[in-house]
Amino acid sequence: MSQPHSTGRSARVVAVADGSPAARAGLQPGDEIVAMAGQVPRDVIQFRLLADEADLEV
């Protein structure tokens, strides 16, 4: 997965590497990540902190 592209309260997936964990999870370019580990990130800093968690909601 590439750097987050913020669309307000979500991050848009802009690229997914073949064979990556994101690809195996079914993420596709254009998907919006709206929560991680059950939390909605307030900003890009919290997004990066939560990105270490494994559970994403798209």
Which domains does the chain show, CATH number per domain?
5-57 (2.30.42)
Summarize pLDDT for 1-49 with one digit per residue, the tens: 445 555 556 788 999 999 998 899 899 999 988 887 788 888 878 877 8
**What's the predicted TM-score (pTM) here?**
0.61
- Tell me how crowded residue 20 is: count the other CB atoms within 10 A of its CB: 12
β-pairing verdict for 11-12 and 5-6: antiparallel
Contact 31, 13 (CB under 8 A): yes
